[in-house]
């Protein structure tokens, strides 16, 4: 421990701290734009500078180690004027059409400008050439908004292990983007959206489908159904001022009904269906000498990562479609038949925490009988925008439930949104199937939590089942290397493309870095899902009565011929 004086306040902190961390512990909020702990600690933006007694110049607090006896000022006149000038210089080269920007009101540069009292710009000059990349189905990149903080570069490289973004050119012409000026679709981008989550401004955003949804809702000849992913309920409330981790299930359903959807359903129902198919697929592989380990295929970002970087593991991927794609396929067959609806006039919308789901829905494999499984995907953020556009008073809405036939779900379905959740849901069903019992002990807490790699050997009905879990594709790559090198032997692996799973998907509400630094978003959002699991009447997927009826009336048996036609797919190697 060392003693540091910050703004006349003596604070004792670990010697491993930076001045930024020490100042925050002392109660002083130093602004940052480029800082991201352990990911982007480069001192590039210079808005976190402080005055250190004895130093000849101002220092970037985010990379400045503390030392015993250090005396620091974070709010001296020199610091305030320097930081204000720095921000004004950033703004001089920034596209300041804030009212047209998706981040207006939730922009970290905008917030810092307001805090510093920037009301006019002294500096005027040329601006960098604008590049607008909206070719992919998932992401939009606008270089006129980019402030060159580098957070997207290092999240892509260090956290996701992909590294498709980098600094191009030098000096005034520096920009951030893929090499050789390619668009995002021409790269091996996962479209996971982790770059969007950390961008402090509006340089990266999801490609919006809101206009398509409004058009469908306005068309009297179109029957529009909506489904909401498990993790959406764990974060939607943040967009309306609710505490992080507030469960929004009832108000989410009420909002969707008031937006005008013909039916409001829950992807949790399809998560239960996925467990029926995936669990029986795993049993078939174990009992019949199939390719092992079997690896989950619910996360489209992870699937793309596998197709580009580990094509030798494609046979290991479960052939199951992801839950929202299964939902779409069943909605346009089973549900349409039951309700006497022409499936050609049905529009299926998925509300997802994930930007990669947009690209997944556009994959050519994701259709049945010439009809797309899912017609449009919007993110949690886009749903919040629609609610605001419609003038709904979200916080005053009553809690409502989902519609029948494809709306009932179990606790197993809802935990899909957290890392380890798919594994636990599958184990609850597989254990019952193998033992022929309704086991009372079914919470597999050893697969929960944010440990980078989780491993366990479970004895189920006399069979030792080796399992592993990874989240974030950089972490997944290291796990696969162990399997490839013969260092580990598993039966079943769950991989989520985003750290923490879907609760931290690229389409979730964007929290400023100063919140992300002190609040564990992943844990708090996951708590909401496990809470809903705990209060659920039914907590095992195979006990969902609507799923049982689906198999009795329509599909036949899990992994049967009809199920494979509608609910399974294939993947193939992609070239970089």
Q: Mind telling me the catalytic residues?
A: 278, 281, 298, 318, 357, 360, 365, 502
Report cis status (omega within 30 of 0) of the bond before 344. no
pLDDT tens per residue, range 94-138? 998 999 999 999 999 999 999 999 988 888 878 888 899 999 999
pLDDT tens per residue, range 337-366? 999 999 999 999 999 999 999 999 999 999
pLDDT tens per residue, range 365-396? 999 999 999 999 999 999 999 999 999 999 99
pLDDT tens per residue, range 50-74? 999 999 999 999 999 999 999 999 9
555 vs 546: CA distance, rounded Å: 12
pLDDT tens per residue, range 483-513? 999 999 999 999 999 999 999 999 999 999 9
For 132-210, CATH number out of 3.30.70.20, 3.40.190.10, 3.40.50.1360, 3.40.50.2300 equals 3.30.70.20
Q: What is the mean pLDDT of residues 416-423?
A: 96
pLDDT tens per residue, range 172-205? 889 999 999 999 999 999 999 999 999 999 999 9
CATH code of the domain occupying 211-567? 3.40.50.1780
Instruction: Give the DSSP letter string of 445-483.
Output: GGG-S--SEEEEEEEETTEEEEEEEEESHHHHHHHHHHH
Let me know if domain 2-89 sits in CATH 3.90.76.10.
no
Q: Highest mean pLDDT range out of 36-45, 190-199, 430-439?
A: 190-199
Residue 230 has pLDDT above 90, yes or no: yes
Which pairs from 288-294 meet CB under 8 Å and 24+ separation? 291/315, 291/316, 292/316, 292/490, 292/491, 293/466, 293/468, 293/483, 293/489, 293/490, 293/491, 293/492, 293/493, 294/318, 294/491, 294/492, 294/493
How crowded is residue 455: how many other Cβ atoms within 10 Å of its Cβ?
A: 17
User: What pLDDT score does 125 carry?
Assistant: 78
Q: Where are the domains of the chain?
A: 2-89, 132-210, 211-567
């Amino acid at each position: 421990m060392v003693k540091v004086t910050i703004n006349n306040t003596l604070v004792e902190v670990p010697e491993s701290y930076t001045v930024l961390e020490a100042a925050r512990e002392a109660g002083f909020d130093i602004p940052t734009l480029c800082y991201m702990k352990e990911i982007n600690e480069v001192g590039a933006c210079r808005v976190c500078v402080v005055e250190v007694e004895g130093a000849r110049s101002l220092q970037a607090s985010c990379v400045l180690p503390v030392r015993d006896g250090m005396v620091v000022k974070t709010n001296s006149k020199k610091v305030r004027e320097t930081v204000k000038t720095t921000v004004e210089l950033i703004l001089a080269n920034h596209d300041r059409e804030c009212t047209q920007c998706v981040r207006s009101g939730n922009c970290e540069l905008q917030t810092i400008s307001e805090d510093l009292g920037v009301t006019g710009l002294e500096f005027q000059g040329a601006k960098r050439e604008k590049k607008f990349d909206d070719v992919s189905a998932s992401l939009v990149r606008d270089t006129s908004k980019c402030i060159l903080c580098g957070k997207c570069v290092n999240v892509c490289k260090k956290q996701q292990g992909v590294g498709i973004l980098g600094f191009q050119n030098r000096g005034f012409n520096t920009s951030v983007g893929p090499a050789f000026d390619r668009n995002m679709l021409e790269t091996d981008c996962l479209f996971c959206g982790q770059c969007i989550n950390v961008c402090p401004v509006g340089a990266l955003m999801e490609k919006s489908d809101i206009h398509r949804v409004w058009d469908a809702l306005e068309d009297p000849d179109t029957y529009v159904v909506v489904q909401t992913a498990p993790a959406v309920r764990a974060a939607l409330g943040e967009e309306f001022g609710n505490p992080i981790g507030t469960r929004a299930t009832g108000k989410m359903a009420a909002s969707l009904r008031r937006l005008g959807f013909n039916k409001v359903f829950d992807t949790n129902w399809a998560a239960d269906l996925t467990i029926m198919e995936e669990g029986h697929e795993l049993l078939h592989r174990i009992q019949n000498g199939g390719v092992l380990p079997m690896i989950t295929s619910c996360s489209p970002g992870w699937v793309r990562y596998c197709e580009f970087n580990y094509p030798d593991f494609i046979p290991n991927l479960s052939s199951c479609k992801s839950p929202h794609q299964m939902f779409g396929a069943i909605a346009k067959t089973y549900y349409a038949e039951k309700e006497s609806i022409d499936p050609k006039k049905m529009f299926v919308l998925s509300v997802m925490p994930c930007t990669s789901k947009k690209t997944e829905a556009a994959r050519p494999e994701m259709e049945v009988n010439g009809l797309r499984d899912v017609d449009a995907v919007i993110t949690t953020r886009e749903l919040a925008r629609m609610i605001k556009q419609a003038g709904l008073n979200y916080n005053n809405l009553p809690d409502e439930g989902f519609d029948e036939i494809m709306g009932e779900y179990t606790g197993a379905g809802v935990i899909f949104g957290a890392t380890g959740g798919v594994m636990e849901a599958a184990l609850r069903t597989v254990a019952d199937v193998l033992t022929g019992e309704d086991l009372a002990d079914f919470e597999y807490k050893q697969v929960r939590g944010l440990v980078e790699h989780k491993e366990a050997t479970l004895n189920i009905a006399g069979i030792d089942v080796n399992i592993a879990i990874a989240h974030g594709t950089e972490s997944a790559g290291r796990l696969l290397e162990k399997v490839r090198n013969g260092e580990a032997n598993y039966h079943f692996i769950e991989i989520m493309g985003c750290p923490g799973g879907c609760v931290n998907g690229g389409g979730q509400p964007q929290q400023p870095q100063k919140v992300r630094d002190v609040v564990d978003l992943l844990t708090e959002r996951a708590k909401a899902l496990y809470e809903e699991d705990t209060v659920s009447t039914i907590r095992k997927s195979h006990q969902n009565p609507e799923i049982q009826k689906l198999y009795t009336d329509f599909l036949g048996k899990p992994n049967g011929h009809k199920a494979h036609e509608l609910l399974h797919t294939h993947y193939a190697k992609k070239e970089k």
